[in-house]
Chains A and B, each alone.
Chain A
Amino acid sequence: MIKTYREVINDTLIKLMNNDPRIILIGEDIGVYGGCFGVTKGLIEKFGAKRVIDSPMCEQSLVGIGIGAAIYGLKPIIEIMFMDFMTLAYDQLFNHASIFSYLSNGNVCVPLVIRVPAGAGKGYGATHSKTLTASLMNIPGIKIFAPSNALDVAALLEEAVKDSNPVIFIEHKLLYEQRQETSKTSANEIVGKANIVKDGKDIVLISYSKTVFDCLEAANILEKEAISCQVIDLRYLKPLDIETIKDAVDKVGKVLIVEEGYGMCGIAAEIMAQINENCFYSLEAPPKRLTALDLPIPCCKEYESAIIPSVPQIVNTVRKMLNE
């Protein structure tokens, strides 16, 4: 059956909530409005206002509420409307959610899921467009999932809800409308593993979330020039599946990392460091990265699209890397 990414999340939430009365949803405008991006549409009608809770605007307390409720028997799924708003809740993530299991020797766990849409491309400007995944990867004790497609999103959401730890679940605004055949997938096949979405022998393109599709599009263009790209969808940012990356580098030798987050201390920077540490001598060329420019994200189209890595940029970078 063909469904959108948004519909699959909605279906999965229904399935999970039907099976587990401990699951509650809390967020701003997730009730009758259906969430800013319509992901929770119809859920308040199905499960009532007791389980689908429209909250005041107070992101940091919402995450705190989620932590407290998770400690005492519930399985809260908190929706933070935009990833930019996550910054308001950083204290609760850095200093609270992430430390309970470690300090209590596993006696107190926090099975909390925070769903959050990231990314630019909608012209929402500097406070509604950022991708801040890398900053969250700096929190020991947190997990980060970022499914790039409708097929993975159901499995990863189920896995996130089953997890006993705080999971930040990153969606992308431009993925919500993406349509895909969703009939078969199993969480068991993918738990913790990055996905090789396309095999290739000349260069590895490593990415996650929406930019995976940019990499695939670039790979298709390059295919016509007889350049064969392998494309890896990380899916899990924390813990990071370095094994799959290492295997790919060992096999292919050239790497380009593409992400929508900022370059400074970003995911690409981290992966490059881990490649250096783990498989430096397999490299046939210096690894390269394409990231957001180190700028606030402006509204106007020309600037917005110039700040985020694009398909032509990926294509050109790969050509250059292979000609060097």
Chain B
Amino acid sequence: MNIYNIYKKSLYIRIFEEKLDYLFKKGLINGTAHFCIGQEYIPVIVSHYLNKNDFVTSTHRGHGHALAKGLDPAKLLAELVGKQTGYNSGKGGSQHIISKEYGYFANGITGGMIPIATGLAFAIKYQNKNNLIVAYLGDGAFNEGYVQESLNLAVIWQLPILFICENNQYAMSTPYKKTHGADIYQRAKSIGIISELIRDNDYEMFDKVVQKYINDIKKKSKPYFIEIQTYRHLGHSKNDKNLYRNHEEEEKWFKTDVLKKLEKEITTKNQCPQKKLNQLKNKYETEIEKLIKGVLTKPVNEISKIYNHLYTK
């Protein structure tokens, strides 16, 4: 994927999430949110190789996955601030975004969507459809029992699914090294799934492997697994004070932040002058601020409709 495009789309996600901070401070978002700042490039690259009818299942840390898949930022914002115009008219909130149109399903149970993703892959294969599914999970989720079960099912039934484990080093506050007896990709491999480890936010390698695996799945229905070592620059959720990480480590990852790297590449290797990138940033900031203003005037739900759609008729 062209690095300027990776940059642009990742930048949009970053600014989108940074702007959410304003909504929280103003008390306009009810509940919590988990930011993906530092990890934005992952879904940007993945979605580059997906079609609209390909499925994505996501996690509690899903804003980036959703935006990259093409979901409308205005409707996503509306969902976060609990408006009727949101994807799930505000009933889902940050962690439970569902869009049938974009084949996008997120849920707040760590690893909980993995069996369902596997079921979607099952239905794709069973009905000889030509789409595929990408299922995101984190290093924490990998330790959930049904993640292991689902990987096994994907292998024995040879399902068209790409699992992407964003290993951001911490399951909430608990470090990766304390919770995994062996590397995640090795554990996946031992179940029988073709599995690759991408180290230290290596976006170029990630891009290559994602492209290859998605092409392979399209040719022949089969599951693949990627573990990408990454880092979230912010805490687990908005209330996290990051007491469990040391400053040195945070600095190390911040220095190698992919957006920074890309920006440097783009400006030094001719593609675009810094001035133009600054203009782009300003443009996105203005755009998103405008979206926020627009969303705040949207109607909220009527209490009389609270029971609607509990069941589908």
Contacts and interface: CB of A to CB of B under 8 A. Distances in A.
Interface of A: 24, 50, 55-56, 58, 60-74, 76, 91-92, 95-96, 99-109, 140-141, 143, 164-165
B172 to A, nearest CB: 18
Given A56-B153, A103-B92, A104-B100, A68 B123 contact: yes
B78 interface: no
B310 A68 contact: no
A105 B109 contact: no
B114 A65 contact: no
A65 B153 contact: yes
A216 to B, nearest CB: 32
B312 A164 contact: yes
Contacts of A96: 107, 109, 112-113, 116
Contacts of A104: 88, 98, 100, 309
B120 A68 contact: yes
B145 interface: yes
Nearest to A239: B311
B120 A71 contact: yes
Contact of A64 (B96, B98, B127, B150): B150
A297 to B, nearest CB: 25
Given A104-B100, A109-B312, A60 B115 contact: yes
Contacts of A140: 310
Given A60-B115, A64-B146, A99-B96, 18 more contacts: A61-B118, A61-B149, A63-B115, A64-B115, A64-B150, A65-B153, A68-B121, A70-B119, A71-B119, A72-B127, A73-B127, A76-B119, A92-B112, A96-B107, A100-B98, A104-B309, A106-B308, A107-B100
Contacts of B115: 60-65, 67-68, 92
A24 B310 contact: no
11 contacts: A56-B153, A56-B156, A64-B146, A65-B115, A70-B119, A74-B123, A91-B146, A104-B88, A105-B309, A141-B311, A164-B312
A69 B117 CA distance: 9
B149 A60 contact: yes
Nearest to A58: B149
B46 to A, nearest CB: 19
Interface string B148-180: 011011001000000000000000000000000
B91 interface: yes
B89 interface: yes
Contacts of B124: 72
Task: Identify the interface centre among A55, A91, A165: most chain B CB within 10 Å of its CB.
Answer: A91
B269 interface: no
B224 interface: no
B136 interface: no
A55 B89 CA distance: 37
Interface in B90-116: 91-92, 96, 98, 100, 105, 107-109, 112-116
Given A56-B149, A105-B89, A67 B119 contact: yes
B112 A106 contact: no
B275 interface: no
Looking at A55, A71, A143, the one whose CB has the most chain B CB atoms below 10 A away is A71
Given A91-B112, A108-B100, A164 B313 contact: yes
**Shortest beta-carbon contacts, A-B, top 8:** A68-B119, A64-B115, A58-B149, A72-B123, A109-B312, A61-B149, A65-B119, A68-B120
B305 to A, nearest CB: 10
Nearest to B114: A64
B122 interface: yes
Contact of B309 (A61, A69, A70, A106): A106
B129 to A, nearest CB: 8
Contacts of B122: 65, 68-69, 74
A99, A105, A106, most chain B CB atoms within 10 A: A105
Contacts of A108: 98, 100, 105
A57 B17 CA distance: 41
Contacts of A165: 311-312
Nearest to A64: B115
A95 B107 CA distance: 8
Nearest to B122: A69
Contacts of A76: 119
B131 to A, nearest CB: 9
Contacts of A58: 146, 149, 152-153
Contacts of A102: 91, 309-310
Contacts of B88: 103-105
Nearest to A101: B312
B126 A24 contact: yes
Given A60-B149, A61-B149, A65-B118, A95 B109 contact: yes
Contacts of B121: 68
B311 A101 contact: yes
B112 A69 contact: no
